[in-house]
Amino acid sequence: MSYILSLTTFLPILGVLLLFFIPKESKSVLRGFTLAVTLVTFLASLLILFGFQTNAEFQFVENVPWIAAGPFVMRYNIGVDGISLWLVILTTFIMPLSVLSTWKAVEDKVKEYMICLLILETSLIGAFISIDMFLFYIYWELMLIPMYFMIGIWGGKNRLYATMKFFIYTMVGSLLMLVAFIYLYMLGSQAGIPDFSVLHFYNLRIDPTVQVWMFLAFALAFAIKVPMFPLHTWLPDAHTEAPTAGSVILAAIMLKMGTYGYVRFAMPLFPEAAHRFAPLLATLAVIGIIYAALVAMVQEDVKKLVAYSSVAHLGFVMLGLFAFNVQGMTGSMLQMLNHGISTGALFLIVGFVYERRHTRLITDFGGLAKQMPIFATIFMIVTLSSIGVPGTNGFVGEFLILMGGYESELRWWTVVATSGVIFAAVYMLWMFQRVMFGELNNPKNQKLLDLDAREIAIMVPLVVLIFVMGVYPNPFIEKMDPAIQKLVAQIRPASMNVPVLPVSSQSLPVGHPVMPAQTGAEEPAAHSGMSGQLPAGHPGMTNKGQSSEPVVNPHESK
């Protein structure tokens, strides 16, 4: 049980090793085996979910030495907290669905495709559970490789341009972040921090001017991944060219890597700088929401439209994060999951249509609802969820984000962003109307078959989640709440005395009184050493006796 995290991470890689022995002609065996591997991984991740204690600590921690040379000590240090837990589950949940979606879509080079999918799964899970920052970086870069191949080999017409752009864009950002990683470590080692664990660095007081530069390096890398306006241009290209499973994973999980990076690294490590840049990033987020919505409206390609809607949705997530309060953060975390489910589902739907008609142009369709009633129903539900209609998951997340934003210093940004919800309704419903309703006058569309059992099996879990998370989001919020409370306390800089606004999970999602309570309780946990952050018996803590050491500003100790 204690190795369950490593097991979940490396099960897909184990699957890759076995895949090598399956002859590449037996495609259905390859598909079936990969599906089985992803399902087993999902089951393993459920053990994590059920074993997870609702508190703010990292759990299932594994911490063993890995590299120790020169000034650096890197450890294989992994664990989940309330923030990463759901993202891991999202990853393992989306993966089997992606494999199922390739059943008919990928006929060529099936074996290589499955290998890419499985390596991708390992690197995604690995990045979410890394506590050691170096380990995180390894996974963060590693995930580019399979995605690069997936877009480049199985992608559309313009795939080479798209995949190169995707790789180099992401690489530039992450290399600059690497410089900041190393610099941060150097600052830390002057202050007596013994290894690369991010938990140690949370307590490092960094000079605000230095913070600015480091925050910018981190923020750039993560903003490219999110992607935020104006760094989003790789996304529509990558999405349009990627095969369905690639798009699903890219949208549902990989983009979350960017927002997760803000939550785990950029914001808590450099709180002063994060506050300083909040107006800028919120402005970019709001521009992203409005701009992407406007661009989405005029798209002729359904997949591109969904890609731009992704940019808009992640704009909301960023806005919620930079509200710096519990509602906003909770909303953002939920919205990450919601976006994973609804946009993932939208890309799957686009894939279904594309497999049948080999076109994605809105003008080629019309009246499909008559021919494909099951498809129409599911598509409608997913569309509504993407818009954020009450009763679906999208509503809960967006509502919390907007409420959090309104309560924060970003009130006017939030007011503008709210119009994005209306725009979302416009472009999604307009697209739905043009594709599904109207006259079924294109002869090619008159013989379309409705969804088959496999396709329904893919969509049912997503549709169920859309409703469950829309009607009863409490189980999700409860697990993440303590971690978010702690995070909000962490990113409050010492100079600012903004009261923490607690969110009571019972009164969600509709309005609840705002109480400036719990501030006293949160304060010491975030500022006094590491004892509050590491689970008992954490080797890094007990050996070095770090918890009792005062944290020194490295600039003073020079």
Give the pair of three-digit tokens for residue 185.
Answer: 């470590």
Contacts of 26 (CB under 8 A, 6+ apart): none
State the nearest-atom distance from the C-beta of 549 to another protein, in Å: 22
- Please, what is the minimum distance in Å from the beta carbon of residue 137 to another protein? 7
Considering only 62, 141, 355, 549, the residue that binds another protein (CB under 8 A) is: 141
The dihedrals phi and psi of 543, each to the nearest 5 degrees, come to -70, -45
Residue 145, beta-bridge partner list: none
Whose Cβ is closer to another protein: residue 182's or residue 468's? Answer: 182
Shortest approach of another protein to residue 23 CB, angstroms? 13
The HSE-up count of residue 366 (CA atoms within 13 Å, CB side) is 9
Residue from the set 42, 60, 86, 137 that interacts with another protein by CB under 8 A: 137
Q: Residue 171 Cβ, how far from another protein at the closest point, in Å?
A: 5
Site string for another protein, 400-439 (x = CB under 8 A): ----------------------------------------
153 binding another protein? (CB under 8 A)? yes
Residue 212 CA to residue 204 CA, distance in Å, equals: 15
- Closer residue to another protein in complex, CB, 119/466: 119
Q: Which of 18, 36, 64, 182 is close enough to bind another protein by CB under 8 A?
A: 182
Residues 338-357, one symbol each (x = binds another protein by CB under 8 A, - = not), give --------------------
CA angle 324, 56, 54 (to 5 degrees): 120
Cβ 307 to another protein shortest distance, Å: 21
- When asked if residue 17 is in the footprint of another protein (CB under 8 A), the reply is no
| 175 interacts with another protein by CB under 8 A | yes
CA angle 197, 268, 393 (to 5 degrees): 110
- Check residue 109 for interaction with another protein (CB under 8 A): yes
**Cα 124 from Cα 253, distance rounded (Å):** 8
Helices (H), 408-452: 411-436
Beta carbon of residue 213, minimum distance to another protein (angstroms, whole number): 9
The reply to whether 138 sits near another protein by the rule CB under 8 A is: yes
Site for another protein in 155-174 (CB under 8 A): 159-160, 163-164, 167-168, 171-172
Stretch that binds another protein, among 152-160, 438-446, 473-481, 490-498 (CB under 8 A): 152-160
Q: Kindly state the smallest distance separating residue 277's Cβ from another protein, in Å.
A: 20
170 phi and psi angles, rounded to 5 deg: -70, -35
In this structure, what are the phi and psi dihedrals at residue 40, rounded to the nearest 5 degrees? Answer: -60, -40
With CB under 8 A as the rule, give the number of residues binding another protein. Answer: 35
Site string for another protein, 61-100 (x = CB under 8 A): -----xxxxxxx----------------------------
Shortest Å, Cβ 174 to another protein: 9
The residue among 168 and 449 lying less far from another protein, judged by its C-beta, is: 168
Q: Determine the Cα–Cα distance for residues 23 and 217; give it in Å rounded to an integer.
A: 45
Structure token pair of residue 537? 């018996």
User: Judged by CB, which is closer to another protein: 43, or 182?
Assistant: 182
Beta-bridge mates of residue 65: 75
**Residue among 134, 106, 126 at smallest CA distance from 246:** 106
Return the ∠ at Cα 339 (arms to 336 and 340), rounded to 5°: 85
Cα–Cα distance for residue pair 136/536, rounded to 1 Å = 23
**Three-state secondary structure call for residue 72:** strand
Q: Nearest distance from residue 153's CB to another protein, in Å?
A: 5
Instruction: Between 12 and 493, name the residue whose CB sits nearer to another protein.
Output: 12
* Residue among 402, 399, 424 nearest 413 (CA): 402
Per the omega criterion (within 30 degrees of 0), is the bond before 509 cis?
A: yes
Task: Tell me, rounded to whole angstroms, the distance of Cα 296 from its chain centroid.
Answer: 21
CA distance 312 to 332: 13
- Contact set for another protein, span 292-311 (CB under 8 A): none
Tell me the C-alpha distance between 395 and 397, whole Å: 6
- Toward another protein, which CB reaches closer, 183 or 430? 183
Nearer to another protein, 136 or 352 (CB): 136
Q: Which residues form the interface with another protein (CB under 8 A)?
A: 66-72, 109, 112, 137-138, 141-142, 144-145, 148-149, 152-153, 159-160, 163-164, 167-168, 171-172, 175-176, 178-179, 182-183, 185-186
